[in-house]
């Protein structure tokens, strides 16, 4: 985040950053809710995930990066909640969350014009 890197990231490397950033996002988002995750872990994963995403967005199309990032966070937090609540999540709520996710991805992927 601090300085622009001189040599460009390879696309494969940038995608690895997006995936790692998405996984860390699930950690901090869950940490906001569950006290079992220590604050320091939440803080470090939060900063690291944003740093990774910003680095990746310099090489990859921003809309696509956010779509994958938000998608991982949405699915991840849903899975975490299902596990933490012992499966007590209504099917209707999951359906609304998936519809929301589909619309987010559609919106992000159709934002191409601004990515030049």
Site for other proteins, rule CB under 8 A: 1, 4, 29-30, 32-34, 46, 50, 54, 57-58, 62, 66, 70, 73-74, 77-78, 80-82, 84-85, 89-90, 92-94, 96-97, 99-104, 106-108, 110-114
CA 99 to CA 2: how far, in whole Å?
Answer: 37
**Closer residue to other proteins (CB): 18 or 29:** 29
Tell me the closest approach of the beta carbon of residue 13 to other proteins, in angstroms.
18
CA dist 25 to 92, 110, 112, Å? 25, 23, 24
- Compute the distance between CA of residue 94 and CA of residue 97 in angstroms, rounded to an integer: 5
Q: How far is the CB of 113 from other proteins (least distance, A)?
A: 4
Q: Which is nearer to other proteins, 4 or 7 (CB)?
A: 4
Least Å distance between CB 40 and other proteins?
A: 15
How buried is 99 (Cβ within 10 angstroms: 0-12 exposed, 13-18 middle, 19+ buried)?
A: exposed
Of 104, 47, 44, the closest CA to residue 74 belongs to 104
- Measured from the CB atom, is 19 or 80 closer to other proteins? 80
């Amino acid at each position: 985040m601090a300085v622009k890197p001189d040599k460009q990231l390879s696309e494969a490397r940038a995608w690895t950053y997006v995936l790692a950033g998405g996984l860390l996002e699930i950690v901090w988002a869950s940490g906001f809710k569950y006290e079992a995750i220590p604050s320091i872990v939440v803080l470090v994963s939060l900063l690291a995930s944003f740093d990774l995403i910003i680095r990746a967005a310099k090489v990859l199309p921003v809309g696509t990066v956010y779509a994958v990032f938000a998608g991982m966070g949405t699915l991840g937090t849903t899975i975490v909640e299902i596990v933490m609540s012992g499966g007590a999540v209504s099917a209707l709520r999951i359906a609304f969350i998936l519809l929301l996710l589909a619309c987010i991805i559609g919106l992000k992927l159709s934002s191409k014009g601004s990515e030049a």
